Amino acid sequence: MIRFALLDLDALLRGEGAVESAALRGEFERIAGGLEAHFAYEEANLLPALRGEGATAP
């Protein structure tokens, strides 16, 4: 998921002409949202497992 977002961002930055700030902002927001969701999942599932507690369902 994050890999594809970064590839999309790279393609946007390598594109011809000027990069629209709205498009660039949208890509960064999409990447940030994906990272936040990923970290929330890790906090809910991995931290309890490391503490020896039960993990929650996704």
The reply to whether 58 falls in a domain is: no
- Alpha carbon 27 to its chain centroid, in Å, reads 10
This prediction has a pTM of 0.62
Total structural domains in the chain?
1
The reply to whether 9 falls in a domain is: yes
Give percent above pLDDT 70 in the chain: 84
CB 33 within 8 A of CB 40: no
pLDDT value at position 55?
54
- pLDDT at 20 > cutoff 60: yes
- What residues make up the domain containing 46? 2-50
The reply to whether 56 falls in a domain is: no
Distances (CA, A) of 31 to 4, 19, 24, 39, 46: 9, 17, 11, 12, 21
